[in-house]
Amino acid sequence: MTTARGFLSDYFVAVAVKRLSNVEANPKVSNQHEINDKASQLMKMLGETERRKKSSNGLGGFVGRFIYLSGEQEGISEIGSLAWYDSRRDQPHRSREWRLYYSGNAVTDAMQPGDTLLLAMHENGELYFIVAPSGSSIERQLLWLFKLDRTPSDDLFAQDQKVLSTSEIDFAARFILDELGIVFVEPDEDFLDGLIRPFARTFPSTKVMAELAWKHASAPSARIDPDNAILAWVDFEERLFRRLERVIVEDRIRDGFFKESAVDVDAFFAFAISAMNRRKSRAGQSLEHHLAQVFRAHNLEFQQGVITERNNRPDFLFPSGAAYHNSDFPDAKLTMLGSKTSLKDRWRQILAEADRITKKHLFTIDTGISVAQTDQMFDSNVQLVVPRKLHETYIPSQRVSIQELAAFVDMVRARSG
C-alpha cells in the first residue's frame, strides 16, 4: 500500500542559512547580538515590517527557539527572543539595512565564528535559531534536511519555499526533527491504528514489528532492490512504533504519577527514561532483523551473535561461526558486518570483533557523517555500507568510498562461490 508521510512544509514555512562571522558570534568583538542581512535574504522570510514590539509573553518581536547541536555531546536548547528591525530607520537619506537581534543565552554563548546558522520559521510563527559546528555530521544532516545543496557562506541564503513543500518526511528526516524537538504528526494514523489494535496497548517484540513492516510497507523486492527495500521497512516500522508509543504514553500520562496521593516525580522520570531507552534499543535490534531478511532473500549463509575473540559478538558473520573458528577455512572467504542506526564514535567498537577479518564492514542508516569521521574509518580499514538513497547526504568525495547494500550482498555471494 502507499501511505502519506507528510512534508517539511507542514512544520517549517521558510529557512535561511549562513556562516557566522566573528562580529555576529563573538560577544568580545561586538555586544550588538545581531545577524546581518546584507543580501536582503531574510526579508523573504520576515518581511519588511519591524518586529520590535513585545509579544504577549514578553519575549520580544519573535519567540525564538535557540538550539545548539554538535553531534558530539548533548544539545543545548533555550527559549529566547528575536527582534527584526531596520538599523537605518532614522536615516531616511540612506538605504534600509535590516538586522535580526537575538537575546543572549546558553546557545549563543556556545556558538563560535565559522559555525553554521540556520534560521527556520516554524508554521506557528516561532523562529528557530539553530547552530551547528562547520564540517560536523549534524551540519550535513541539517543542510540535507532543508535541501540546502550549497556550502554556507558569510552571506545569508534563503531556501526557495517551494522546496520545503516537496520534501517528504521519511525516517531520516524524522530523526533530525527529533533533534530539533519537533513532534512528528503521523498523517496515516487510521491505517497504523488498525495494525497496532491487536497489541492492546503493549509493545510487541521487535521481530513482530519487523514482520509487520515486511508485510505492509510499500517496498520493492529485497532480492531486486535491497537498498530501497530496507529503507521502506525501516521507515514503516519506525512510524508504526511511534504511533503505538504515542498511544501507550498518552494512557500512562492520563493515569498520572502519584504515590500516596502526592505527585511522584521520580516515577515520572523513570517512565520517561524507560521510554527513551526503549526507542534506542529497539531501533538497533530492528535494523538487524531487516538486514537478516535481506540476506535471507538472497540465500546468503550467515550467523548472528557468534562469539569471537575476547568474548566479542559481531552482528553478522558470513558464512558461519563454524567457518570462522575453523583455522583451515580461508580468511579471504570470511566477512563480518556491524550494524548501527547511528555512529558518532561508536563505530570503533567493531574493530576488535573479529581478528581474522582485516577489513570490517559496517552498515548504517546514519546520514551526513562528517568527512573527518569517514576518513578515520577508511584509515582504520572500515568499509562503510549505506543504502543508496542516503548517499546523497554525503559529499561527492565521500560517496566514492561508501558501499551500497546491493554491492555488499554481491561481494558476500562472490566470496561464497
Residue 98's φ and ψ, nearest 5 degrees, are -90, 140
Nearest to 350 by CA among 335, 342, 341, 339: 339
Q: Is the dihedral of CA 107, 114, 16, 145 positive or negative?
A: negative
| Set 68, 101, 324, 394: catalytic member | 324
Taking each helix axis from N to C terminus, what angle separates 206-216 and 265-297, rounded to the nearest 10 degrees? Answer: 50
Residue reference for cell 561461526: 321
Residue 324 among the catalytic residues: yes
Ordered DSSP codes for 226-267: HHHHHHHHHHHHHHHHHHHHHHHHHHHHHH--EETTEE-HHH
Residues 6+ apart with CB under 8 A from 346: 340
Please state, in angstroms and as integers, the Cα–Cα distance from residue 332 to each residue in 260, 329, 353, following that order: 65, 9, 16
Identify whether the C-beta of residue 225 lies closer than 8 Å to the C-beta of residue 404: no
Please state, in angstroms and as integers, the Cα–Cα distance from residue 290 to each residue in 20, 199, 218, following that order: 41, 21, 15
Question: What are the catalytic residues?
Answer: 324
